[in-house]
Every structure is written in structure tokens, then in C-alpha cells.
Amino acid sequence: MIKIKHVSKLNFAGRQRQQYFTENAELTHVGPDTPGGEYLRRFWQPLTLSSELRELPLAVRLLGENLVLFRTCKGKLGLLDRQCCHRGASLEYGIVTDEGISCCYHGWLYGVDGTILETPNDPTSRIKERLRSTAYLTHEYKGIIFAYMGEPAEAPEFPLFDTCEDPDTEYIPYSLHFPCNWLQVLENAEDPVHTVFLHARTSGPQFAQYHSEMGAFDFIETPIGVTSVHTRRWKDKVLVRTIEVILPNISQGAAIWETAEEEKCFQRTSGLSWKIAVDDINTNIIGWRHFNNIVDPGHRGDKNHIGKEMVDSYGQYDDERNYDQRQREPGDFEAIVGQRPIAIHSLENLQGSDRGVTLVRRLIRRGIQAVKNGKPLVQPARNGMTTIPTYTQDTIISIAPGKGDETNLLRDVGEKVTHVILETAQFDTDERHRIFERMIQGLSF
């Protein structure tokens, strides 16, 4: 005979906490005149891959604004409000000229700076002397077209990061679409513990077996953002992996195909990408996969599977897997998009391992407040160096197990390696590598 618990002993009251909460609009909403949107507009943002812009205008959307991107017949980039100032026809159907773009409806001609050059439907009109279209600054770099949507006079220097200027690295641009808010996509980078479960224990190792080890972790504020420090034991090695968020919406991940079987010192990144707010509930990830013989010595990466809506990493985009496969072996795409179109922070129950997420939110909120108060923002800066120093890396050290308390050992190794990472950021790339290696060799554990 089966014994059934009396219903009165069970607790089904969870529904009381549902339904009555809204998203954190200050951090997640990005349209014009929103706090978060005005903050993001103070930074260069990727718009599209260069390969997507051909001889015809390209309709694009960024930070809740409908825009048109084009390249004049002389090669200059233009980014304008998509609607013509005359009667609102879409400039995605416009005619590209030497000087700019001409509306298909009545021929109004716009320069790349939004100036109205001609109104051929009424040639004597002086409207062009007092009217202009919204136009934004653009910049093209390594196969990606960027836009700056703040005040032109306040545009910061275009950021050149140290990991993006290596002559021995091949940079292949890609873009992915996530149907959810930009912030939850970004926060994934500062949640190192998710790799233990999502990428290893839940459905088997999606990248490397060592991901199943919990290890020790910490979160550090850097001059340009936040870095997570995840220190793990793997056989007779200890791996210190640092992954960073660069404010406001860049993340840089360590080596995808690292196995932690050999000693390494300051191995850099497999890729850097922006989490671009198309609008409140759509995000584009745009960046580069990095290829060189150090970060992928086994040549496991697939250069032919990188581009528009594809990248050579498991579960990172809306791929060809069916629903059953996604349920059995979810990846980052499923975990992030499944948090709702906009994650509701007030319904979360955060723990110690979420300190990276809360730190990212705090720093973004600090930036939003600075914009409100008219104060300077933290912008990635070279500080007299050739490039902007970043903090993502893998260092693998041979340390035999059994030397005292393992948790304390991992924390000690992580803290000491992190100190070296921060201390060497004052040096340009080549010198930084040499000094880093020398300082690591001088550590004792």
C-alpha cells in the first residue's frame, strides 16, 4: 500500500512571490533619454560586420533607434536616422551617391554628417539651411563598423585593446543575435561558477573536463571594469583563469580549448566581444575570435564557422539543434535567453558566487549616475602606452596536491597571480609578458 503525504503538510505558497515585479529599468532600458541608454551612448558601439554593408544601404537598429548605414561611392561611411526628414520615407531604399544618400521618394540628398545637400522637389527652398538629419560618427576597424551616438565633441578615443593588436593573431569578426536584454548577456561573463554546471556537470564537458572542478573564486575591480578570478586544481596543476568585463558592455573570455595539462604563463584570450543593446529585448554580440598557435595549439577552432550568426563554440547562438537537444544539453544561449526577455532582478536570490554580477551592476549604475550628474566617465585609456592593457588570461602552474589545505592553497595561488596581473598592467604588451613570467617564477606556494 502506497502512503501519501497529507496535502496540508506540503507548501505550495511559492506563487505569492510571482507576477508582481518589473525589470530594473535604470540598468536595462536603452532608448533615447533613458538613464542606461544615455550611459551607453557615451561609448563606441559595434554596429555591424563590414561584410554586411555592400553597395546598397543597410537598415540597422541600435539603442532603440532605427538607422540606415551606407557607404558613399567615394567610400565614406554614413549613419543617419532611417526616416527622411521630408515625409518619412525610409532611406534604406535610398540611392547612394558620391556625396551621401538620396531619398527614393522625392530626392532629398543627405551628406554623411546629416546635412541636407539638395531638395530637388523644391530647388529654391531654403529648408536645408535650418534642417538636418540625425547623424552619428562611425569608425571601421578589423572588419567591424562602429558608431558613437553621444555628442560628437565628447567622443572618446577609439579603444585599442592589447589583445586586439597582436601581429601574430588572426582576428575573425562575427555577430550573434540574442532575443533578450543586453545586461543578462554581459553578466554571464562574470559568473564563473556557471561553467562548472552548464559547461561540465549538467550535460558533460562541453569544452574541457577541468571545468567540472569548483575550485576557488574571487572578483576584482580593475581600472576598466571587473575581472573574475577562478582558481582550480586539475591533476598536478593549478589553473588561474581570469575573465573580464570591460565597461560598459565588453567581455573577454580566456582560451576556449585550454585543457590545463601543461604549464603556461599569461596565455591571453580566444575572443573579445561587445554585448550590443539593439533595444530593450534584443542584443547583438559583435566581436572577434582570436586565432594563434598559443591560445589554440591543437587547432581545434574552426575559422570557417565564424561570421554572421555563427561561431565555433558550443551553445553560443541560436544554432541548428532541435528543442529536445537544447533541453538535454543547454548552452549559454538557452541559459541566458531563458531568464525572460528582461531578467527581473527583484526576483533573484543572489549568493556569494554572484558577487561578480552584483559588481558589474554596481559599476554600471555608478556610470549612469555620473552621466546624470555631468561627471567624467571611466573610459578605457592607453595612459601613454601603445594599447589599453586588459586582464584576461590563463596561468597554469605545476603544484602537487596534498600540500596542506587545498582550499587555502587555491586562494593563495589565485591572489598572488592576480596581484601580478594587476601589477604588470603598467607595461606595454611584450614587456608585460616578460615581467609577468619573471614575477610568477619568483612566487612560492
Is 397 a residue whose pLDDT tops 60? yes
Mean pLDDT of 286-294: 96
Query: What per-residue confidence (pLDDT) applies to 200?
Result: 85
pLDDT digits (tens, 9 = 90+) for 253-277: 999 989 999 999 999 999 999 999 9
Confidence of residue 37 (pLDDT cuts 50, 70, 90): very high
Query: What per-residue confidence (pLDDT) applies to 15?
Result: 57
Query: What per-residue confidence (pLDDT) applies to 190?
Result: 96
Domain presence at residue 24: no
Q: Does residue 146 sit in the same domain as residue 168?
A: no
**CA distances (Å), 59 to each of 12, 26, 40, 90, 305, in order?**
49, 27, 21, 9, 25
Mean pLDDT of 52-71: 98
Q: Does residue 111 sit in the same domain as residue 255?
A: no
CB 146 within 8 A of CB 158: yes
All three cell numbers of 405, joined, read 589545505
Confidence of residue 19 (pLDDT cuts 50, 70, 90): low
Domain presence at residue 16: no
Q: Does residue 168 sit in the same domain as residue 109?
A: no
Average pLDDT, the chain: 93
Domain presence at residue 417: yes
Confidence of residue 20 (pLDDT cuts 50, 70, 90): low
Amino acid letter for position 127:
I
Is 2 a residue whose pLDDT tops 90? no
Q: 207 vs 165, which has greater pLDDT?
A: 165
Is 403 a residue whose pLDDT tops 80? no
Q: Does residue 128 sit in the same domain as residue 199?
A: no
Is 390 a residue whose pLDDT tops 80? yes
Supply the CATH number for residue 385's domain. 3.90.380
Of 154, 183, 198, the last residue of a domain is 154
Q: Please write down the HEC assignment for all residues of 359-409.
A: HHHHHHHHHHHHHHCCCCCCCCCCCCCCCECCCCEEEEEECCCCCCCHHHH
Domain presence at residue 318: yes
Is 161 a residue whose pLDDT tops 80? yes
Mean pLDDT of 130-154: 97
Domain presence at residue 20: no
Q: Does residue 108 sit in the same domain as residue 223?
A: no
Number of domains the chain contains: 2
Is 382 a residue whose pLDDT tops 60? yes
Q: What percent of the chain has pLDDT over 70?
A: 95
Q: Give the SS3 label for residue 326.
A: helix
CA angle 228, 232, 236 (to 5 degrees): 150
All three cell numbers of 43, joined, read 561609448
Q: Does residue 134 sit in the same domain as residue 175?
A: no
Q: Does residue 290 sit in the same domain as residue 224?
A: yes
Q: Does residue 203 sit in the same domain as residue 135?
A: no
Supply the CATH number for residue 128's domain. 2.102.10.10
Query: What is the sign of the dihedral through the CA atoms of 196, 200, 201 and 203?
Result: positive
Q: Does residue 134 sit in the same domain as residue 249?
A: no
Mean pLDDT of 151-162: 96
Is 388 a residue whose pLDDT tops 80? yes
Query: What per-residue confidence (pLDDT) applies to 212?
Result: 86
Q: Which residue bears the cell 573610459?
A: 379
Query: What per-residue confidence (pLDDT) applies to 315?
Result: 86
User: Which domain covers residue 428, as residue numbers?
Assistant: 162-441
Is 7 a residue whose pLDDT tops 60? no
Query: What per-residue confidence (pLDDT) applies to 232?
Result: 95
For the stretch 352-357, contacts whose Cβ atoms lie closer than 8 Å and that sit 24 or more positions apart, written own/partner, are 353/191, 353/192, 353/193, 353/217, 354/191, 355/219, 356/187, 356/190, 356/191, 356/192, 356/219, 356/226, 356/228, 357/187, 357/190, 357/191
Confidence of residue 298 (pLDDT cuts 50, 70, 90): confident
Domain presence at residue 37: no
Domain presence at residue 38: no
CA angle 413, 395, 432 (to 5 degrees): 105
Confidence of residue 5 (pLDDT cuts 50, 70, 90): low
Domain presence at residue 360: yes
Of 154, 175, 190, the last residue of a domain is 154
Q: Does residue 318 sit in the same domain as residue 227?
A: yes
Is 88 a residue whose pLDDT tops 70? yes
pLDDT digits (tens, 9 = 90+) for 240-252: 999 999 999 999 9
Mean pLDDT of 147-160: 96
Q: Does residue 148 sit in the same domain as residue 177?
A: no
Of 154, 187, 219, the last residue of a domain is 154
Q: 363 vs 213, which has greater pLDDT?
A: 363
Confidence of residue 16 (pLDDT cuts 50, 70, 90): low
Q: What percent of the chain has pLDDT over 90?
A: 84
Q: Does residue 268 sit in the same domain as residue 416?
A: yes
